[in-house]
Amino acid sequence: MKYAHIVGWGSVLPDKVLTNDDLAELVDTSDEWIFRRTGIRQRHIAGPKETTTTLAFEAAARALVVAGIPPSQIEMIIVATSTQEHIFPSTASRVQDFLGATKAGAFDLGAACSGFVYALSMAAQAIATESVRNAIVIGAETMSRVLDWEDRGTCILFGDGAGAVVLQGSSIPGGVMASTLRSDGSGGEMLSLPAVYQNPVPMLGKESLHSRHKKNTITMNGRQVFRFATKVLSESVEDVLEKAGLSIDDVSLIVPHQANVRIIESAAKRLKISPDKFYMNLETASNTSAASIPIALCDAIKSNRLHPDDNVVFVGFGGGLTWGATVVKWDVTPPEISPLDRELKRARYIVARGRSRLKQIGRNIGARLGGSFAPDATLKDAEKGRKVK
């Protein structure tokens, strides 16, 4: 049995910032309304060349530098996201390729805003059962691409970004201590993002278009989600602490999904603790769905809010409905990394891209030269064989 310790972390937010005042030019809202009702002042928006994959890669690369582990030693990559560019290839597989993590399995995990907590729990269990030693868990989103920019009830809430942690197995007790994961599919309609399986099957015509949704943008019943969130946030913190055999007084910091300051404050009231025990960065980062917890974690570390031996709770909630929490015994001090070391480590990703490109070229040349491996070529060969007979 191994303990999964967090040994590296990294996050990235796109440079482009959209303020509440900017939004007030798009929809009927105001900085005053948004800030008072949510605590959000601005959000980051991905540029044309940024995607969920590039953000996920950047966060993972930064986390690996902190961990001091080469990508070749990573055996599992999980990307929690609702905004993958492709159903397949997965975002995680593309990140695996960009990193040159040649010994890693990779998959995306869909649990909406709870995705990071779910993914952390999955990776920690893979480490605990010793099926992998090192894993990267990433939360990455480009929410701006799935928002209805005419819906003031949703477009004011979300932003883009990515955060990642590196987990390493060790026989020293600590790291991820307990998790609780829950779902209630009966509330699925409260917060939803349809997929785009809209192609009609030719022989069935229009009948094969099952989806009632016209657009693949987020829809949300804000009030209902608000009520659900305040309830499950406090409940899952209590639940996970009970599993870990800890009390709320043993917890130094709670890093919640960054949805709304009012949700967090009302959960604090239910738990009878000060809201200061919750780390919040949504004023500047907004709600980045599955990315919000790891981004907030990185900011909390930068702000010196975590120290060795602290117990920290991550708690997420969102579409599905899904919710969950994890308790982590924090046991690392941020290492000193020189800018030169950082740059040298990054050079390996240029090599990884070169290797990947060469593999693709090699595959294409192979397909042209050794045509008999292609299915249609095999068929032609077989037909030729029949004629000869």
Specify the pairing of strand 191-192 against strand 251-256. unpaired
259 binds ligand UT7 (CB under 6 A): yes
257 among known catalytic residues: yes
CB nearer to ligand UT7: pick between 46 and 104: 46
Query: Stretches 67-75, 93-101, 218-226, 321-329: which one binds ligand UT7 (CB under 6 A)?
Result: 218-226
Query: Stretches 53-61, 126-134, 151-159, 325-333: which one binds ligand UT7 (CB under 6 A)?
Result: 151-159
| Residue 322 backbone phi and psi in degrees, to 5 | -135, 155
Q: What is the largest CA-CA distance in the chain?
A: 86
83 binds ligand UT7 (CB under 6 A): no
260 binds ligand UT7 (CB under 6 A): yes
Question: Nearest Cα to 263, choosing from 32, 38, 33?
Answer: 38
How many residues bind ligand UT7 (CB under 6 A)? The answer is: 21
CB nearer to ligand UT7: pick between 36 and 302: 36
Least Å from the CB of residue 290 to ligand UT7? 9
Whether the Cβ atoms of residue 211 and residue 194 lie closer than 8 Å to each other: yes
210 among known catalytic residues: no
Q: Is the peptide bond before 321 cis (omega within 30 degrees of 0)?
A: yes
364 among known catalytic residues: no
Buried b (16+ CB within 10 A) or exposed e, 316-326: bbbbbbbbbbb
DSSP 8-state code for residue 171: S
Q: Which of residues 156-175 bind ligand UT7 (CB under 6 A)?
A: 156
Q: Is the peptide bond before 89 cis (omega within 30 degrees of 0)?
A: yes
Pick the catalytic residue: 20, 44, 155, 257? 257
SS3 state at 102: coil
CB nearer to ligand UT7: pick between 34 and 313: 34
222 binds ligand UT7 (CB under 6 A): yes
Whether the Cβ atoms of residue 166 and residue 133 lie closer than 8 Å to each other: no
174: left (phi over 0), alpha (psi -120 to 50) or beta: left
CB nearer to ligand UT7: pick between 138 and 191: 191
CA distance 44 to 185: 30
Using CB under 6 A, which of 45, 117, 229, 271 touches ligand UT7? Answer: 229
SS3 state at 76: strand
287 binds ligand UT7 (CB under 6 A): yes
Question: Nearest Cα to 166, choosing from 300, 293, 314, 8?
Answer: 8
Least Å from the CB of residue 190 to ligand UT7? 9
CB nearer to ligand UT7: pick between 104 and 181: 181
234 binds ligand UT7 (CB under 6 A): no
CB nearer to ligand UT7: pick between 74 and 267: 267
Pick the catalytic residue: 5, 113, 155, 298? 113
CA distance 116 to 377: 45
264 binds ligand UT7 (CB under 6 A): no
Using CB under 6 A, which of 11, 20, 38, 266 touches ligand UT7? Answer: 38
Least Å from the CB of residue 238 to ligand UT7? 19
β-pair partners for 132: none
CB nearer to ligand UT7: pick between 217 and 311: 217
CB nearer to ligand UT7: pick between 156 and 167: 156
Q: Which residue is nearest to ligand UT7 (CB)?
A: 222
Least Å from the CB of residue 317 to ligand UT7? 7
35 binds ligand UT7 (CB under 6 A): no
315 binds ligand UT7 (CB under 6 A): no
- Contacts of 345-354 with C-beta under 8 Å, sequence gap 24+, read 345/64, 345/65, 346/61, 346/65, 348/70, 348/71, 348/100, 349/57, 349/61, 349/98, 349/99, 349/100, 351/100, 352/71, 352/97, 352/98, 352/99, 352/100, 353/98
What residues line the site for ligand UT7 (CB under 6 A)? Answer: 29, 33-34, 37-38, 113, 152-153, 156, 191, 222-223, 225-226, 229, 259-260, 263, 287, 289, 318
**Could you give the residue numbers annotated as active site?**
113, 257, 287
